[in-house]
Amino acid sequence: MLATEKIMIGALGGLSAVMVKFLGQDYQLVVDNAANLTEDQIIGFMVGYGLLTPILMFLGGFVAWSAEEDRRLKLVALAVAAPAMITTWSGGNVPDNQAMQLNPMSFFVSSAYAAEEETQTKEKSTLDRIQQGVGIFFGYGKVPKTYWVIVGSYQEREQAQTFADRINADNKTLQAWVGIRTANNNYYPVIVGHAELLSEAKALRTKALESTLIKDAYLSPTR
């Protein structure tokens, strides 16, 4: 068998290993949570698979080329096995900092921070994108995030509670409440509802803005 044919078989074996990884580990996550993945996460999936697929295909081709084997079936098995060790090891979901907690005591950021996060999303360097993409390929940071819908912030808790009470008197379904003030944020946030995935949080924000009492609402990722 020609060396080029062995390399081609090996490369296809490597591609097969990547496809099995995606179908077995990430397909359902991406399909079920497409509306709940951030732009960063979607780009991360594209970069991670786009970067590592050729590498694993090269690995499969190299293994097939170096093997003293001419039977196609065994070459395919060898070519799939080597990349599969990496794709199997890279499986699973590892939440950022091991924390995807819906704990109200785990928050909060200011509206300035939220705006800064959006800016950073647009200004990420190529190296940052590569690091994030590789991380997502290996299971880091691909779990959908949850968000609070914050409709106001006050330096005094009494003012925050008064605003929350007014919202609840106007529309009880919004379930407004006052969060804690942290060392990094000197304001008490007024939150509506509970921690939600991105699509539900956006819908809740839209609902909140229908109230004449609420002039602004933004999403803040849970911590």
Report the CATH number that the domain containing residue 170 is assigned in CATH. 3.30.70.1070
Q: Which residues of the chain have pLDDT under 50?
A: 97-121
Does residue 110 fall inside a structural domain? no
Q: Are residues 75 and 159 in the same domain?
A: no
| The token pair that represents 203 in the structure block | 């819908």
> In 90-210, where does DSSP find H-type helix?
111-123, 126-137, 157-170, 198-209
Does residue 140 fall inside a structural domain? no
Q: Are residues 16 and 91 in the same domain?
A: yes
- Domain of 189 in residue numbering reads as 145-221
Does residue 82 fall inside a structural domain? yes
Number of structural domains, the chain?
A: 2
What is the pLDDT at residue 91? Answer: 60
What is the pLDDT at residue 113? Answer: 39
Does residue 199 fall inside a structural domain? yes
Those residues with Cβ within 8 angstroms of residue 136's Cβ, 6 or more apart along the chain or in another chain: 41, 44, 45, 47, 48, 142
Question: CA quadruple 194, 122, 99, 144: dihedral positive or negative?
Answer: positive
What is the pLDDT at residue 93? Answer: 59
Closest CA to 10 of 56, 67, 64: 64
| The token pair that represents 220 in the structure block | 């803040």
Q: Are residues 89 and 151 in the same domain?
A: no
Residue at a domain's end among 57, 73, 96 = 96
Q: Are residues 156 and 214 in the same domain?
A: yes
Q: Are residues 91 and 149 in the same domain?
A: no
| The token pair that represents 147 in the structure block | 């968000």
Alpha carbon separation from 37 to 111, 161, 192 (Å, rounded):
21, 32, 22
